[in-house]
Amino acid sequence: MKNIIGLVLNILLITGLLSCEKYIDFDEDATTSKIVLNSMISTDTTFQVHLSRSLSVIDAGDLTPISNAIVAVYNDAGSLIETLVEDTLGYYKGNQLPEEDVNYTIIAEALGYTDVSATCAIPMLTTISAWDTATINTFSNSTQNETELQVSLEFTDANQTNNFYMITVLAVDTAWGGSYSFPVYIRTMDQKFGSDYADKSSDKLLFNDLLFDGETATFTLTLSDVSYISYLVLNLYSCSEEHYLYNKSYQTATETTGDPFAQPVQVYSNIKNGHGIFGGAQLASKIIYM
Amino acid sequence: MKLVSKLILLISIFCVHASIVAQTYTISGYVEDGETGEKLLGATIYDSKSGKGTTANSYGFYSITLAQDTVNLRISFVGFVSYKQTFYLDKNTTINASLNSSLNLQEVEVLASESERIEERSEMSTIDLSLDKVKSLPVLLGEQDIMKTIQLLPGVQSGSEGSSGLYVRGGGPAQNLILLDGVPVYNASHLFGFFSVFNADAINSVKLTKGGFPAHYGGRLSSVIDIRMKEGNMKEVHGEGSIGLISSKLMIEGPIKKDKTSFIISGRRTYIDILSRPFIKQQTENGSYGGYFFYDFNAKINHKFSDKSRLYLSAYNGKDRFYAVDKYSHANSGTTYDSESESGINWGNTIAAIRWNYLISPKLFSNTTITYSKYQFKVGFAETDVQTDNTGTYTGGYSFEYLSGIQDFSGKVDFDYTPHPDHYVKFGMGYTNHLFTPGVNQLTQDVGAISVIDTTFGSDRITAGEFWGYVEDDIKIGNRIKINSGIHFSGFNVNGKTYTSIQPRFSGRYMINENLSAKASYSHMAQYLHLLTNAGIGLPTDLWVPPTDNIKPQFSNQVALGVAHTHGKLFEISVEGYYKTMTNLIEYKDGASFFETGTDWESKIEVGNGVSYGVELLLEKKHGKTTGWIGYTLSWTNRQFENLNFGEVYPYRYDRRHDIGIAITHDINDHVDIGVVWVYGTGNAVTLGTEKYQSYDAVFNGSYGYFHSIESIESRNNYRMPSYHRLDMGINFHKKKKWGERTWSFGIYNMYNRQNPFYLFFNSDNQGNIRLTQISLFPIIPSFSYSFKF
């Protein structure tokens, strides 16, 4: 495959050698710096927002944080919940815990920038009703034995709403007295995830309930590189649609960066007049001791 | 008694009346070029006494039924002296007209007869392309190209710089039905689309239909390019050829048996690889080499069994091939290692057709066709390694191939029935068996004589059947109204599922006065085949795929309104507005990559809709020393996909607001003519990230390095490339020789050296600043070629 891609690139290179190249004007006026608002809310963490500035792609400057902005949170009745306070550079934090199923609107204002706003709600929590594991492969490479673990988890999807989920697995190693954790790459052939993960492994699986709406479904995952691990943390996130769309598109964008044959990817944003993401999620976890 | 008398009188009147009505006879026959025997498709047959007329069909056959009376018959074709005959029609009569060229006549004598004029024809959105124009206009690298000439017409846009893909009224290149002697051609491009596969020397006629599709056409949404090959000179052996900068071609035609059987063969090949190979080998240590070439080969045999029965056999084969052979040797401690690898990309078409024309009666003409069409694209790499030491010789190797393509076997029968001068009925049916290969990977590995790996993976081969039937009638109602209406019915069966479609078609004209008509048309079209196109690269990596449970057939509805006028007997003017909707279009998903192996094609695409509307203006002069046209199109073309661009409408990549094409040739004298082409188009809409910002992961999860920032893409196809415009000029010097005629052609492509945009991307300059960078392909390019006829 690399040879084929190499040949194709050589052909394109030959074409390129015959071609002319010149710099042309880029309409920078269309890309004035905007506020970038990043925030994910959950019921167990107070409001937390990061503000930074966007730049034109041809601007070599830094994507610096925005200080001294006014960041306010409103509920769906339009009442002010709280005004966040800048904690560290660009990070604005509050004292209130968001509630489930309430539409929150964040508005950020900063000098020299157009105001931005975004709205989202934290979806209802979906819990893991059952889980199981099975060791499916043990093999040796040149230095050590490797184990693949098959994990199944079950949960019930709420009916009558469009629901979105994310699954991640964290490996924790406490062998050396401390605690070292890293994400585990997951493979799955389970069709309920759709076709996006059929031929690759990912550190997070993002999916909607289109194929199991209102049902109790069991999902099967295969985890690699889980030898010599103390325990695994199986995470099931119930995500807002914004959270899902952003992470899904961001995942696709990062996977295809540098591939000249891949279609361009638009990363989702729900920030009006700006960039970034304001989403919500709730987490249900299970610990799997190895 | 009185009652009986009255009854007898009534019956007698009825019989006389019936006999008067029943006394019609049919004149039929073929119209051909008197010098070559080539059929003159679309020739006009007209009786000035009755005011009735008809046209010759795609095989040069005509049939007209007139009342028993004196007939003032005139058979005419542009550029030829008309055939005239006056006689009394009292029986079915066969008149085969051989027309002679009118090169020496004055301009006014060869003007189109009444029924050839643009305002007379019921069809709209249709253009007959002059092959003389194709051969006389200046072109890229001197390569005459039918598709490049079609791109100069209003409503038709080229894709990227140099591409011969056609984007007709907002549709993509997959939505054009390109027929070569009635056989679909799936990829009509050489060298990434820089040249088409059609050798103009072997072509008799080209007809482009953009809307108002008659019912006998089907299977594609946006256009039909009906290309008919020459049949071969029935009288004498003749030939044409040319030697150009990058390719040469030769066409020879002649009788196998005079006036009975003729043949035509033509071939074209580039030779850049042959010329460059010695230089490349010289530069490499081990004799490695590489190159590129393409070739086309056409052949046709035409046999006349009798006046009623004719047989045609035609074939085409063409291929493009990039290849590289790399050799490597070295020795170490008594062991030698030799390695040879060969990599290549090739693609091409193979087409064959058998057609049998049979005149069932003077009013009923039949054509039976059996065809084969294959398009295949292949990328391959193979390596062979040989290791030799004092213990022996060991060999091994591996190969990888990616194949995609489509293969058709088809049979159809078509009838032309002319029961009355005011009716021209066509009906027919057909069936095609498709075999799709939408991406199959083959991997082998050998160690010595042992095959270690031999596997095939990727998308499965799919077999499907497509069937169709149609009926249409070209009806003249009074002196002002002419309509063509019909029904095209089609179906497609694949994987146990059958899709069907009933497609009404209508086009009509109303004569406002003798030089001005108003026209209207409606077409409902169905297309079962989809083409996956990777717009990011210009390689022939397109995949033809069938409909599935998730990917339904495409449909379009198009209405068009227009006026047509002949001004001062020399200028034809048409103005048309159209509105077209398209459903079930496919596009690659965000992030989908053509080279994703092991991933089924269906999982890479999204389905959506498109809308296109606009106005086209065509001003054309077909006669005289100066001929040509000016075409202008103002149009909008958008797409909407639920899962692309977050469901918002976005402009199609080839949404060009303004498109202008000017093509003019002028005969300076009998030996010298010049041609000028100027084109202008609003820039293509491309997807370009214009801003960057920090990702959520970067600020909250400590992500760093490559994925620190996100490049913001406001919308699909959000950025307009600079506009495209170009001036080409050419001059041809003809000289008669004892053996025939020779022509020296000199041309300049892109005379004012406009750097037209081909590709945009952001890149760093020498100072480290990021700049928007434009790649252009063709600067000013002079060319020359030597052509000959004998």
The ipTM (two decimal places) reads: 0.89
**Where residue B67 falls among pLDDT bands split at 50, 70, 90?**
confident
Q: Token match 């970038």: residue?
A: A36
Which pLDDT does position A44 carry in this prediction?
A: 92
**Where residue B58 falls among pLDDT bands split at 50, 70, 90?**
confident
Distances (CA, A) of B599 to A254, B361, B438, B593, B596: 19, 56, 11, 10, 6
Residue B364 has pLDDT above 90, yes or no: yes
pLDDT 10s digits, B683-709: 999 998 889 999 998 888 775 444 578
Nearest Cα to Cα of residue A114 among A40, A35, A172: A35
Contact A128, A236 (CB under 8 A): yes
| Residues of chain B positioned with their CB less than 8 A from the CB of A255 | 591
Q: Does A7 touch chain B (CB under 8 A)?
A: yes
Neighbouring residues of A282: CB distance < 8 A, sequence distance ≥ 6: A42, A43, A100, A122, A123, A124, A125, A126, A237, A238
Which pLDDT does position B568 carry in this prediction?
A: 82
Q: How far is CA B9 from the centre of its chain?
A: 63
| Residues of chain B positioned with their CB less than 8 A from the CB of A15 | 192, 538, 777
Order of strands across the sheet with B83-89?
B52-55, B44-47, B69-76, B83-89
Q: What angle do CA B264, B268, B273 make, to 5 degrees?
A: 160
Dihedral pair phi/psi, residue B684, rounded to 5° = -65, 155
Question: How far is B290 from B693, CA to CA, in rounded Å?
Answer: 44
Best A12, A19, A248 member to test B by mutation, with max B CBs in 10 Å, is A19
Question: How far is A148 from A131, CA to CA, in rounded Å?
Answer: 16
Residue B665 has pLDDT above 80, yes or no: yes
Which letter does DSSP use for residue A100 in this model? B
Q: Does B599 touch chain A (CB under 8 A)?
A: yes
Question: How far is B643 from B520, CA to CA, in rounded Å?
Answer: 36
Nearest Cα to Cα of residue B607 among B638, B585, B591, B588: B585
Question: How far is B554 from B407, CA to CA, in rounded Å?
Answer: 20
pLDDT (average), residues B244-266: 91
Residue B3's identity, in one-letter code, is: L
**Where residue B594 falls among pLDDT bands split at 50, 70, 90?**
low
Give the A window 221-240 contacts with B, CB below 8 Å: none
Which pLDDT does position B705 carry in this prediction?
A: 43
Contact B56, B45 (CB under 8 A): yes
- The two structure tokens encoding residue B571: 């200028």
Neighbouring residues of B522: CB distance < 8 A, sequence distance ≥ 6: B212, B504, B505, B506, B507, B557, B558, B559, B560
Least confident of A31-35, B435-439, B640-644: B435-439
**Given an 8 Å threshold on Cβ–Cβ distance, is A275 in contact with B697?**
no
pLDDT 10s digits, B646-655: 999 999 999 9
Dihedral pair phi/psi, residue B277, rounded to 5° = -60, -45
Q: Does A56 touch chain B (CB under 8 A)?
A: yes
Contact B378, B191 (CB under 8 A): no
Start-to-end CA span in chain B (Å): 82
Q: Considering the entire predicted model, what is its pTM? A: 0.86
pLDDT (average), residues B276-299: 73
Question: How far is A64 from B332, CA to CA, in rounded Å?
Answer: 57
Which pLDDT does position B114 carry in this prediction?
A: 44
Question: How far is A150 from B127, CA to CA, in rounded Å?
Answer: 64
Residue A139 has pLDDT above 60, yes or no: no
Nearest Cα to Cα of residue A239 among A286, A280, A194, A193: A280
Question: How far is A239 from B369, CA to CA, in rounded Å?
Answer: 60
Whats the size of chain A, residue-wise?
290
pLDDT 10s digits, B706-734: 457 899 998 999 999 999 999 999 999 99
**Given an 8 Å threshold on Cβ–Cβ distance, is A263 in contact with B536?**
yes
Contact B81, B105 (CB under 8 A): yes
Which pLDDT does position B285 carry in this prediction?
A: 58
Where is pLDDT greater, at A227 or B522?
B522
Residue B511 has pLDDT above 80, yes or no: yes
- The two structure tokens encoding residue B433: 């068996």
Where is pLDDT greater, at B536 or B282?
B282
Nearest Cα to Cα of residue B193 among B683, B594, B631, B541: B541
**Given an 8 Å threshold on Cβ–Cβ distance, is A250 in contact with B539?**
no
pLDDT 10s digits, B321-331: 888 888 888 88
**Given an 8 Å threshold on Cβ–Cβ distance, is A63 in contact with B709?**
yes
Which pLDDT does position A1 carry in this prediction?
A: 45
Q: What angle do CA A97, A94, A169 make, to 5 degrees?
A: 60
Q: Measured between CA atoms, how close is A181 to chain B, in angstroms?
A: 13
**Given an 8 Å threshold on Cβ–Cβ distance, is A259 in contact with B593?**
yes
Which pLDDT does position B282 carry in this prediction?
A: 57
Which pLDDT does position B15 carry in this prediction?
A: 44
pLDDT 10s digits, B69-82: 899 999 998 778 88
Which pLDDT does position A61 carry in this prediction?
A: 86
Q: How far is CA B149 from the centre of its chain?
A: 11
Q: What is the mean pLDDT of chain A?
A: 86
**CB-CB: which of A57, A267, A277 is closest to B770?**
A57
pLDDT (average), residues B463-486: 94
Radius of gyration of chain B (CA): 29
Residue B258 has pLDDT above 80, yes or no: yes
Contact B519, B562 (CB under 8 A): yes
Question: How far is B163 from B175, CA to CA, in rounded Å?
Answer: 16
Residue B54 has pLDDT above 70, yes or no: yes
Which letter does DSSP use for residue B288 in this model? -
Which pLDDT does position B112 carry in this prediction?
A: 47
Residue of A nearest to B709 (CA): A63
Question: How far is B481 from B509, CA to CA, in rounded Å?
Answer: 6
Which pLDDT does position B613 carry in this prediction?
A: 97
pLDDT (average), residues A135-148: 62
Where is pLDDT greater, at B537 or B288?
B288
Question: How far is B257 from B236, CA to CA, in rounded Å?
Answer: 10
Q: Token match 């209102």: residue?
A: A214
**CB-CB: which of B341, B588, B775 is closest to A21?**
B775
Residue of B nearest to A252 (CA): B591
Q: 3-state class of B637 per DSSP?
A: strand
Q: What is the mean pLDDT of chain B?
A: 86
pLDDT 10s digits, B177-213: 999 988 999 888 887 777 788 888 888 889 999 999 9
The torsion of the CA quartet B622, B623, B626, B629, rounded to 10 degrees, works out to -10
Which pLDDT does position B390 carry in this prediction?
A: 86
Q: Which residues of B503-542 are buried (b: 16+ CB within 10 A; e: fewer)?
A: bebbbbbbbeeebebebbbbbbbbbbbbbbbbbbbbbbbb
Residues forming a β-bridge with B572: B566, B620
- The two structure tokens encoding residue B43: 């020739």
Where is pLDDT greater, at B160 or B650?
B650
Q: 3-state class of B148 per DSSP?
A: helix
pLDDT (average), residues A229-236: 89
Q: Token match 């009188």: residue?
A: B9
Nearest Cα to Cα of residue B40 among B25, B26, B30: B30
Nearest Cα to Cα of residue B238 among B208, B263, B275: B263
Where is pLDDT greater, at B15 or A178?
A178
**Given an 8 Å threshold on Cβ–Cβ distance, is A261 in contact with B595?**
yes
**Given an 8 Å threshold on Cβ–Cβ distance, is B593 in contact with A249?**
no
Q: Token match 């999982």: residue?
A: B603
Where is pLDDT greater, at B121 or B266?
B266
Q: Token match 């679309």: residue?
A: B42
Indicate the pairing of strand B183-184 with strand B176-180.
Answer: antiparallel
Nearest Cα to Cα of residue A43 among A282, A284, A248: A282
State the CB neighbour count (10 A cutoff) for residue B624.
Answer: 14
Which pLDDT does position B14 carry in this prediction?
A: 42
Nearest Cα to Cα of residue B202 among B267, B133, B271: B267
